[in-house]
Amino acid sequence: MLEIKNLTVSYSAITTLHGISFTVKEGDIVTLIGANGAGKTTTLKAISGLLKAQGEIIYNARNLANLPPEQIVAAGICHVPEGRMIFSNLTVAENLQMGAYRQRDKAVIRATEEFVFAMFPRLAERKKQSAGTLSGGEQQMLAIGRALMSRPKFLMLDEPSLGIAPLLVKTIFEKIVEINRQQGITILLVEQNANLALEISSYGHVIETGRIILSDTSTALRQNDKVREAYLGGA
């Protein structure tokens, strides 16, 4: 479904991604793990068109490299960025409507909104509430819900557990799996909590200093001594 070929990204004179290559198969949850500054977020931003890159981003046989972000969303890819980036001055319902800005069929918008509220009942309870007054976990639900309003086929999630209470982290990750299984949405996940990421994913890639140093099934990565020592707390 997605094939990254020799992706290179530079900021001024500093290269942050050094020709990385990997694939994501349709229907899978795939995770990128690595330390802060390894290049995980940069990878997602390059795929979603927020950063200029060299190399190829092949999605369903089409090279999306350096297309404008709106064209990438139109192709079926949606990105939930680190820090959520919700519209804090708008209500929950208004934020969701912003996610559906490309959709013209009102019936489809209503049906998708109903699906989001069924997936995240807390959002339904707070749909008239200002998004800026939500808890961190509720804002993350809203960010994912807003992305789902665009009816993506491929969803990228950047640090969904960041700044969220542990109890809600468990809920968020359960919902990620549910979205993948029930809706058939392929997911590329960046997550500092490598244990959680590898627990719900089928495949993983380890990034260090802008290079992929290891790729394997999530089960194998969890059993790899170097991965356990570096990212899983020796667990």
The topology (CATH level 3) of 2-231 is Rossmann fold (3.40.50)
User: pLDDT tens digits, residue range 2-33?
Assistant: 999 999 999 877 888 999 999 999 999 999 99
User: Where do the structural domains in the chain lie, given as residue ranges?
Assistant: 2-231
Q: What is the pLDDT of residues 66-109, one digit of tens each?
A: 899 999 998 999 999 887 788 888 999 999 998 888 777 888 88
pLDDT digits (tens, 9 = 90+) for 146-164: 999 989 999 999 998 888 8
Token readout for 75 is 């192709």
| Inter-axis angle of helices 92-99 and 106-119, nearest 10 | 130
